Amino acid sequence: MSDLARRSVLVIGAGGLGGPVALTLAAAGVGRLVLVDDDAIETSNLNRQPLFTEKDVGQRKAAAAAQRLRRLHPGLEVEALDRRFDDASAIELARSVDLLVDGSDNFATKFLASDAAVATGRMLVHGGVLRYTAQLFTVAPGVAGCLRCLFEAAPPPGSVPTCAQAGVLGPLAGTAGSLMAQEALRLLAGERGAYAGRLLIYDARTARARFVPVRKRADCLGCEGGRRVGVAAEPVPAGGGGAA
Ligand SMILES: [Zn+2]
């Protein structure tokens, strides 16, 4: 059994980012994927969610994605959770895997994923897309800063348009999902993450990418250890996903 076949990844959101991530990780030989998503498939998703076809519209995303992945990769262990990644489940889910990948579509989930990663010592590959812009960042507990070092807190609800309101350039989700999966594979291989300590911003209109350095803030509530998810920080596991 290859080393990757023994590794497990939690994919938060099974849509435009989570779909390409799961597809790539399964093809690369990751042994176990846990998909968590509480949405149903809509026609408007199909421009950027390659796991689904028109026949799947109306089906639950996590279950439909898992079914498709099993068909493509019969050796893959894949668990579909038709629920929200929330306060009640975040820590347990994070502990159950080696690595977290966040392809969710809302700030509350993104900050919770970062807090859960810090609280459990798991690495997290964060990704987001809106209109023509993608952002990637790796939360590396104990090594580099978390999402709260970067943004401190989620913007008030309604102050930033959602993907559904602003739209997403279809192919950009695939690009970002592929970059996220590559980062996940680097981390699973024990390498330092390309986006640990720096945010990648990619603009699909100009095909330009730039990095913004992210310093670990001394007073960061997230880095103080899962305060918002109500648990004490756990030590980073030996090897730690390998960002050292
Ligand atoms: Zn932090």
Give the model's confidence band at 1: pLDDT under 50 very low, under 70 low, under 90 confident, else very high.
low
Whole-number Å distance between alpha carbons of 184 and 125: 7
> Of 211, 229, 214, 210, which is closest to residue 100 (Cα–Cα)?
229
Give residue 195's pLDDT: 97
The mean per-residue pLDDT over the stretch 217-241 comes to 59
Asked if residue 159 has pLDDT above 60, the reply is: yes
The mean pLDDT of 66-76, rounded to a whole number, is: 96
What residue has token string 């798991």?
A: 122
Per-residue pLDDT band at 243 (split at 50, 70, 90): very low
**Looking at the predicted structure, is the pLDDT value of residue 62 above 50?**
yes
Report how far residue 122's alpha carbon sits from residue 34's, in angstroms, rounded to the nearest whole number: 15
Residue length of the chain: 244
Q: How far is the CA of 139 from the centre of ligand 1 (A)?
A: 9
Instruction: Specify the pTM.
Output: 0.89
228: CA distance to ligand 1 center in Å? 12
Using the predicted structure, report yes or no on whether residue 167 has a pLDDT greater than 90. no
Mean pLDDT for 127-153 is: 91
Which is more confident, 226 or 91?
91
Measured in Å, residue 225 CA sits from the centre of ligand 1 at 9
Ligand 1 centre and the CA of 232: distance in Å?
15
Domains in the chain (CATH in brackets) are: 4-229 (3.40.50.720)
Each as own residue / partner, the long-range contacts of residues 161-168 (CB below 8 Å, 24 or more positions apart, any chain) are 161/130, 162/105, 162/106, 163/16, 163/105, 163/129, 163/130, 164/44, 164/105, 166/130, 166/131, 167/131, 168/16, 168/48, 168/129, 168/130, 168/131
Which position has the higher pLDDT, 12 or 1? 12
What proportion of the chain, given as a percentage, has pLDDT over 70?
A: 91
What mean pLDDT is predicted for residues 138-151? 92
- pLDDT tens digits, one per residue of 192-220: 899 999 999 999 999 999 999 999 988 88
Give, in order, the Cα–Cα distances in Å from 28 to each of 64, 186, 232: 20, 12, 34
Ligand 1 centroid distance, CA of 226 (Å): 10
Side by side, which strands form the sheet with 208-213?
77-81, 32-36, 8-12, 99-102, 123-130, 133-139, 198-203, 208-213
Interval between CA 101 and ligand 1 midpoint (Å):
17
The residue with greater pLDDT, 130 or 12, is: 12
